[in-house]
A and B are shown apart, each in its own frame.
Chain A
Amino acid sequence: MSILTYRQALNRTLGQELARDEQVVLMGEEIGLFQGSYRITEGLLDQFGPRRVVDTPIAEEGFVGVAIGAAMLGMRPVVEIMTINFMLVAIDQVVNHASKIHYMFGGQARVPMVIRTPSGGTGQLAATHSQSFENWFAYCPGLKVVAPANPYDARGLLRAAIRDDDPVIFIESLALYDTKGEVPDDDYVIPIGKAEVKRHGRDVTVISYSRMTAVALQVAQQLDAEGISVEVVDLRSLRPLDRPTIIESVKRTNHAVVIAEDWYSYGVTAEIAATIQEEAFDYLDAPVKRVAGLEVPLPYAKDLSAAAKPSAHSLVHAIRSILK
């Protein structure tokens, strides 16, 4: 067992997978010489050389397409996109190509590729640097989407993603990179498509993923002192979605609050809320409550930015409102 940051967990896992499987190659802007815009690939160019750790020109759609071609021949490219905002430049290759190749081309070719990218808004980076688009990819059959909330999950899910035979979108968070946690040293894998109850509680289920799980756990602890017992279901995978774990939890607590960083309408919270009403309607003591981003391009100025983002404060407010 080691105590690692989320960043270290990713970094070591990438190193181990490069060492374990010759087919694994890393591609992305600034991942080699610069060791990653957020230092996730630190030391890997030195250790594995430029054939395995490839600095790319600024051409996201191009190099995602390149990764697809290499993956179809059995390579296992792990692509870093600087932030999810730049995924929009590559989305055609991901959605129209990677996700469809196995199904549409008669199962001849697989696309065992991973795209790692941080999502969400932190630190006054304003509208074009703070968006959450994991729901766009979770919408698309043929893709898998995972979003770990702590170093342990980051490591286990990254291994699973790299070893998976389908394209996996691996969602990270700038705000989580420096968070620490216990990580076993053995070669464990966390199955894609499995949620986890991160904290057990009786009164209300909070459903979340990635950074919002950290927020939910903090809120759960805070409300515990007031005698409110919060259960936290961490989705870990957005596609496939582990509906049974959500439903079982809500059947026990009879209350559900869903929190995500993306915009309110058509976001992840809508999918979860719909799932709960379809499968646990009779168990609910109150309507499902959603906490999500205000529908505005995220502004730069501090107060404006804070007012637009979901927070611990808004989660507490939502929980109280349905427990009344």
Chain B
Amino acid sequence: MELPPDLLHQAHYWMRLTRALDDRGTFLHKQSKIVGGYFSQIGHEAISVGAALALGPDDVAAPMHRDLGAYLVRGITPQRILAQYLGRVDGVSHGRDGNIHGMGDLNYGIVGFISHLPASLPVMVGMAHAFVLKGEARVAMGFYGDGGSSQGLSHEALNWAATFRLPVVFICENNQYAYSTPVVRQMYVDNIADRALGYGMPGAVVDGNDLSAVYHVTRTAVERARNGEGPTLIECKTMRMRGHAIHDNMAYVPPTLLEEWAQRDPILRLEAHMQERGLLDDAALSDLLARIEAELDAAQAFAEQSPYPDPTTLTDGVYA
């Protein structure tokens, strides 16, 4: 399935921006400018970007801690994300929440995520339910991990969505590990998507490092949902290429596994594909990377100049 050139260029930009912003965050954490947890998403770019690009402007999504790409695609800027990481007033949560937690902005159809897994799934089902009640042709997308798939809540959410034939697309990111626990120690099935049969919805397993495949399958599911044909469960197989969070050296992951997956890097694969089709050359790539670095330099300068929230505002907003 070949995607049109302009879509590939868009996806390429977002994936490169995502990775560069992720690296920038790691760097700021090493400099002790970011305090507390920091979650890298390296390796997840094709999933978050591909799935988010498949949505329409009025759709909603609840990305998780490895879906930085989805936030960017939906329109949350690097300025606001870096200000968020630094706990500044211009951060998405205005200093209320830290790192990628709580980074919701409904103006961009983004529902922020709380720590508890997979707390946003039923909430996305609820939004889809409201779309149906209001007669709106909108779609809700919920992300969760292989780890989160063991929670009863994920089953409750999927069952509800199937029962009411709701316009939801579930993206399950199977990155082989939940913290240090490999998938084989979390479940006895090969594919999480096989569970879709038990709920009564289609399930698909996708190569999560193949942007075109992720986009294509997600787009089909989004269209089905919008046409009133109900939810879909999409399992994207990938690999978490860094520790669970920045402090985790992931000594428990066999190095050969990481090497294998490094060969399938989603960005390098997309770039090879684009080069084959004559859509990218070395000069264009280095231009793009330079442009992204400049964009992030400006974003970081903005974020570092943004003030810390005023303590007198501490209790503002506890109630509507």
Question: Are A and B co-members of a single complex?
Answer: yes
A86 in complex: contacting residue of B95, B98, B116, CB < 8 Å: B116
Chain A neighbourhood of B37, CB < 8 A: 125
Q: Secondary structure of the B side of the interface?
A: loop
Find out whether the CB atom of A308 lies under 8 angstroms from the CB atom of B314.
yes
Chain A neighbourhood of B313, CB < 8 A: 304
Cβ of B305 < 8 Å from any Cβ of A? no
Q: In the complex, A146 Cα to B214 Cα: how many Å?
A: 50
Q: Secondary structure of the A side of the interface?
A: loop
Interface 0/1 of A124-159, CB less than 8 Å to B: 111111000000000000000000000000000000
5 pairs of A and B residues whose beta carbons are closest in the complex: A301-B95, A300-B98, A57-B150, A34-B180, A301-B87
Interface 0/1 of A265-300, CB less than 8 Å to B: 000000000000000000000000000001111011
The contact size tier of chain B is 35 or more
Chain B neighbourhood of A86, CB < 8 A: 116
Cβ of B25 < 8 Å from any Cβ of A? no
Q: How far is the CB of B178 from chain A (nearest CB, A)?
A: 6
Cβ of B152 < 8 Å from any Cβ of A? yes
Cβ of B315 < 8 Å from any Cβ of A? yes
Chain A neighbourhood of B116, CB < 8 A: 85-86, 88-89, 128
Interface 0/1 of B152-189, CB less than 8 Å to A: 11000000000000000000000000111100011100
Chain B interface residues toward A at CB < 8 A: 35-37, 87-88, 93, 95-98, 101-102, 114-117, 147-148, 150-153, 178-181, 185-187, 252, 308-309, 311, 313-315, 318
Residue contacts A-B, CB under 8 angstroms, 20 given: A57-B147, A58-B117, A58-B186, A61-B152, A88-B116, A89-B151, A123-B35, A126-B98, A127-B97, A128-B114, A296-B315, A296-B318, A299-B97, A300-B97, A300-B98, A301-B88, A301-B96, A301-B309, A303-B308, A303-B309
> Which of A59, A86, A299, A302 lies at the interface centre, i.e. has the most chain B CB atoms within 10 A of its CB?
A299
Residues 40-67 of A contacting B (Cβ, < 8 Å): 55, 57-59, 61-62
Find out whether the CB atom of A58 lies under 8 angstroms from the CB atom of B180.
no
Chain A neighbourhood of B151, CB < 8 A: 58-59, 89
Q: In the complex, A302 Cα to B86 Cα: how many Å?
A: 10
Q: In the complex, A303 Cα to B314 Cα: how many Å?
A: 9
Chain B neighbourhood of A62, CB < 8 A: 150, 152
Q: How far is the CB of B14 from chain A (nearest CB, A)?
A: 26
Find out whether the CB atom of B150 lies under 8 angstroms from the CB atom of A59.
yes
A55 in complex: contacting residue of B114, B115, B181, B187, CB < 8 Å: B181
Q: In the complex, A128 Cα to B37 Cα: how many Å?
A: 13
Q: In the complex, A296 Cα to B95 Cα: how many Å?
A: 14
Find out whether the CB atom of A300 lies under 8 angstroms from the CB atom of B93.
yes
Chain B neighbourhood of A37, CB < 8 A: 179
Q: In the complex, A124 Cα to B96 Cα: how many Å?
A: 10
Find out whether the CB atom of B98 lies under 8 angstroms from the CB atom of A30.
no
Q: Which residue of A lies closest to B182 (CB)?
A: A33
Cβ of A166 < 8 Å from any Cβ of B? no
Cβ of A323 < 8 Å from any Cβ of B? no
Q: In the complex, A308 Cα to B95 Cα: how many Å?
A: 14
15 new A-B pairs (CB below 8 Å) besides A29-B179, A295-B315?
A30-B179, A34-B252, A37-B179, A85-B116, A88-B116, A123-B35, A124-B87, A126-B36, A126-B96, A299-B96, A301-B88, A302-B87, A302-B308, A304-B95, A304-B313
